[in-house]
Amino acid sequence: MKLAVAGKGGAGKTTFSATASRLLARSGRDVVAIDADTNPNLHAALGVSNEDIQAVPFPPTSLVSRSFNGPMLNEPLAEVLDRHTLVAPDGVRLLRMGMPEHADEGCLCSAHAVVSALLGDLDALPETITLIDMEASPEHLSRGTAREANALVLIAEPYFRSLEAVKLQAKLAAETNIGRVVVVANKCRSDTDFAGISEFCNNYDLDLIARIPWGDEVLDADAATTPLLDFAPDSPVIEAVQQVCDLLTQSLPTEQAP
């Protein structure tokens, strides 16, 4: 299963992706987390130091060749994962898409192609759950980077600009092969916050599947440069993320469970 996580900047995508990845790994599943943001920081949310992640090379664009069916890896998937992933806490394998090294170096089309090719080849590992933490832009959808995802998880905050971003990305995803698009209401301080997101989703026929409450501990964990799962393991936010994981993986064959 391949889950792409998207939404407006600051909506909570990276915290959700990191927490979900580690919770799924703790349940006994093989998890690959892909940081598909050109300003990568998923490693910090997982609990990986800057020094450790910098020792792992970005996947080079030479790994990908073009075909009529889209980008394809020209090296075995197992070798690519071994060479370009780092084992994060709880056994999550982390891979980063790539980032610009210099100003004016042009677009990052090739870096997006690497992610797309990886997602395609990950079909060969049906018992692996892959989470793709996407950047705060619809570019992953317009470029087809996440076309191979089985589901797109849109993280929504209870305010208009965040909801508009969710609507746009859901519209673009509907034009791809992504099998399912769902919305997770995040940072809900009250029933009123959730009701606003719910009404918006009803108006635009969006599949709202869960509610994650506001938690000051999320900000406190970030200030302490500590993953939420380690900083506040009993947080209601973590409990809500676990419920989302259960919902999204309940259709997986039972033999994939630990």
Per-residue pLDDT of the chain (258 residues; tens, 9 = 90+): 999 999 998 999 999 999 999 999 999 999 999 999 877 889 999 999 999 998 888 887 778 877 656 677 888 899 999 999 999 999 999 999 765 554 555 456 667 788 888 888 888 888 999 999 998 877 777 777 787 889 999 999 999 999 999 999 999 998 888 889 999 999 999 999 999 999 999 999 999 999 999 999 999 999 999 999 999 999 999 999 999 999 999 865 544 443
Backbone φ, ψ for residue 63 (5° rounding): -70, -15
SS3 letters for 220-240? HHHHCCCCHHHHCCCCHHHHH
Gap between the Cα atoms of 174 and 172, Å rounded = 5
Whether residue 186 contacts residue 213, with contact meaning beta carbons closer than 8 Å, is answered with: no
Three-state DSSP class for residue 51: helix
Do strands 72-73 and 208-213 pair parallel, antiparallel, or not at all (unpaired)? Answer: unpaired
Q: For residue 49, count other CB atoms closer than 10 A to its CB.
A: 11
In this prediction, residue 74 carries a pLDDT of 83
In this prediction, residue 226 carries a pLDDT of 96
Gap between the Cα atoms of 19 and 217, Å rounded = 13
Gap between the Cα atoms of 207 and 122, Å rounded = 26
Whether residue 101 contacts residue 147, with contact meaning beta carbons closer than 8 Å, is answered with: no
CA separation, residue 61 to residues 65, 100, 112, 113, 125 (Å): 9, 13, 9, 8, 22
Domains and CATH numbers, the chain: 2-256 (3.40.50.300)
Whether residue 53 contacts residue 87, with contact meaning beta carbons closer than 8 Å, is answered with: no
Residue 209, Cβ density class (10 Å: 0-12 exposed, 13-18 middle, ≥19 buried): middle
- Which residue spans within 66-216 are E strands per DSSP? 72-73, 86-87, 93-96, 128-134, 151-156, 180-188, 208-213
**Rounded to the nearest 10 degrees, how much is the dihedral formed by the CA atoms of 27, 93, 67, 74?**
-130
Alpha helices in 85-235 (DSSP H): 109-121, 139-142, 160-173, 191-203, 216-223, 228-231
